[in-house]
Amino acid sequence: MGRHSCCYKQKLRKGLWSPEEDEKLINHITKYGHGCWSSVPKLAGLQRCGKSCRLRWINYLRPDLKRGKFSQEEENLIIELHAVLGNKWSQIAARLPGRTDNEIKNLWNSSIKKKLRQKGIDPNTHKLLSEVDNEEKVSATSKNIEKASEGSSELNFIENSNYVIETEKLMDRYPNNMTSAASAPPTHEFFLNMFVTTHESSTASCNKPLDMASYLSFQQLNYGSNIGFSMNPNINNLLFNSKNSEMIPHHHFNSSITNDNILPSISNSILTSPIAAAASNNSIGTFTSSGSSTSIELQRNSSFFDGNAFSWGAADCGKSEKETETDPEDIKWSEYLHTQFLPGNTIHNHQITQDLYSEKSGIQFTTQGSLSTTTWLQNQLQQPSLQTADSYNKHFQKIPDAFGQFS
DNA sequence: AATTGATACAACCGCTCCTTT
DNA sequence: CAAAGGAGCGGTTGTATCAAT
């Protein structure tokens, strides 16, 4: 497809949007919604392509944008999410209320990347740069090593938790980079091998040859010590659905889960999360595999969990209630805008949360559960609801300000 | 005061995926 | 089933602003 069909039309404006154009677009969408984006410019009286209108609305004019500088918490969350999701900016943005993928992408490229490098962390792999160098050496060397130890999946951990990958088999499973979020997730079979081969119901902390805690030592990710990031509880509750690349709050794992889902999920979440390093010295739970399903209990059995509000535990799983999902598209725009967009109106964080998280992919966020992502996000929104309303006000203030710049 | 470089942010481009015809 | 079109995503480029020289 490539270029949008409307872009072929002549005399379409490009470049920065003028306040007049913004006003036209806002007025149009306020009254009629965007509907088909390709028809928006014509209906709104704009010499722009629909794509440009969409972008302008989503990235700048949309009323629920927070704008302003990113907080440290937001930055931390972005880093943690990036460790899991990679450059999936839209997915990252979906978990940061009021932030756009573009905004986050820009922040990452202009600021966070640099900060991470300064702290000796490779922004792509979220590993120590020195480790990445070592890996490259190991990778290069391994190509010249015969498959002497083929069949063994053991890993020898050397002092200081550095690791040596002994088997080419393992390297084959993780070409280039074991933990790169951009690379394919570890296979279902791999984690079966890693965690549940020795016992049908096994306790991770005491399994040999490779228990979970040891395996986590792979990760030298320790943002807490390396860069002083706070350990955010948010990501800890997210597991990964390998089939659609969406994260799922852990609450939903209480029911039957197939290995196809859960193992890659665990792998992605644990392998790439900053919690991994911190968790590496602790037993964090039990994996049980039976037939096609795997149950997982991640226990609060270490100081790590207590110290950092790590809430994998199944204790609150049963309490969760599935939030009623609302498709944003079902919301009548005029109503939406009149009730939420207009300055001074109180924003119902409940609805905002739904708007932000009800995606076509069907991500289901729960409203309860201690320290769950949703809870955290709700907390963000609840400080107070007026915070969001305030951002709306700021938005409206910004429009006349913008006009002022040109007058 | 003018120039240059760095930075942040806005917007565009090309692509893929999905839906519709 | 294939083609066309719409929507969205991620990478890249363009531009405004600010600080340093």
Span A275-289, average pLDDT:
33
For the ranges A113-117, A143-147, A255-259, A375-379, the one whose mean pLDDT is highest: A113-117
Tell which strand C nucleotides have any atom below 7 Å from a protein Cβ. 5-12, 14-17
- Whole-angstrom distance, CA of residue A274 vs CA of residue A221: 5
Question: What is the mean pLDDT of the segment spanning A330-358?
Answer: 34
The pLDDT score that the predictor gives to residue A183 is 33
CA distance A188 to A204: 17
Which position has the higher pLDDT, A383 or A87? A87
Provide mean pLDDT across the span A332-343: 38
Could you give the C-alpha distances from A236 to A39, A231, A246, in angstroms and in order?
42, 9, 14
Question: pLDDT at residue A142 above 70?
Answer: no
Q: Which two tokens stand for residue A42?
A: 């014509």
* Residues whose CB is below 7 A of strand C: A 1, 4-6, 15-16, 35-38, 50-51, 54, 87-91, 101-102, 105-106, 109, 405
Higher pLDDT, A159 or A10: A10
Q: Which residues contact A317 (CB under 8 A, 6 or more apart)?
A: A250, A251, A253, A254, A369
Q: What is the separation, in whole angstroms, between the first and last Cα of chain A?
A: 40
Q: Which pLDDT value is given to residue A141?
A: 58
- The integer distance in angstroms from the CA atom of A24 to the C1' atom of B12 is 21
Top mean pLDDT of A135-139, A202-206, A227-231, A288-292 is at: A135-139
pLDDT given at position A165: 30
Statement: residue A293 has pLDDT above 70: no
Measured CA to CA in angstroms, residue A43 lies from A51, A177, A179 at distances of 14, 49, 48
Assign A396 to helix, strand or coil: helix
Residue nearest to nucleotide B6 (CA to C1'): A110
| Three-state secondary-structure class, residue A2 | coil
A315 and A299 Cβ atoms separated by less than 8 Å:
no
Q: Choose the weakest-confidence range: A1-10, A22-31, A66-75, A250-259.
A: A250-259
d(CA A58, CA A292): 42
A7 Cβ nearer than 7 Å to chain B strand: yes
pLDDT digits (tens, 9 = 90+) for A10-54: 568 888 888 888 888 888 888 888 888 888 888 888 888 888 888
Q: Determine the length of chain A.
A: 407
Residue-wise pLDDT for A85-104, tens only, equals: 888 888 888 888 888 888 88
- Residue A82 pLDDT exceeds 70: yes
Return the pLDDT at A124. 80
